[in-house]
Amino acid sequence: ALLDAGVDVVEVTLNTRGALEMLGAISRHFGDRLVVGAGTVMSPEAADQAIAVGARLIVCPHLDEAIVRRAVERGVAVVPGGFTPTEIVRAWNAGASFVKVFPAGPVGPRYIRDVLAPLNHIPLVPTGGVSLDNATEFIRAGAAALGLGSALVDPKLVAAGRFADLTRTAQ
């Protein structure tokens, strides 16, 4: 449903039961058509496990330079979290592919615009509080990409098999 809408990057958070199995199944099924990421990666070992089953993207809610190094060594894109300009710059200097600004909802799009004024060389990905209602404003503020969870993929629609509705929402 997401691919049909043009969304070609998805994340399975590792704090979801059966996450590694899901990552493996999604990776095998979609191959190169979809970038499958592991989210809520909390250790280098967890990154290794996710990469071993097919994750091509590692996402963290925080900055842990050891995780960033591990992903870079393995040739996998990595998006550590940061909130302050200091954390964002540290993440970028550690080798981040993008930096996840988390939680972005409480500070809104203006914060992204303000941070990017001096740090416009760092691609930021706001998550946590990004919704269909404010997504356009985050993009206008300069976000390189957005992280949307249940705002984009309603678990009730998934459970009901209403994939056409998911495609329309993602579009």
Q: Tell me: the pLDDT tens digits for 105-162?
A: 999 999 999 999 999 999 999 999 999 999 999 999 999 999 998 888 988 999 999 9
Predicted model pTM:
0.94
Q: Distance (Å, rounded) from C-alpha 130 to C-alpha 103?
A: 9
Active-site residue, 156 included:
no
pLDDT in tens, 61-109: 999 999 999 999 999 999 999 999 999 999 999 999 999 999 999 999 9
Q: What is the mean pLDDT of residues 16-36?
A: 97
pLDDT in tens, 42-66: 999 999 999 999 999 999 999 999 9
Position 168 pLDDT exceeds 90: yes
Which pairs with CB-CB distance under 8 Å and at least 24 residues apart come from 132-137? 132/169, 134/105, 134/108, 134/109, 137/108, 137/109
Q: Which of 65, 73, 100, 137 is catalytic?
A: 100
User: How many alpha carbons lie under 13 Å from residue 52 in its C-beta half-sphere?
Assistant: 9
Q: What is the pLDDT of residue 149?
A: 86
Active-site residue, 11 included:
yes
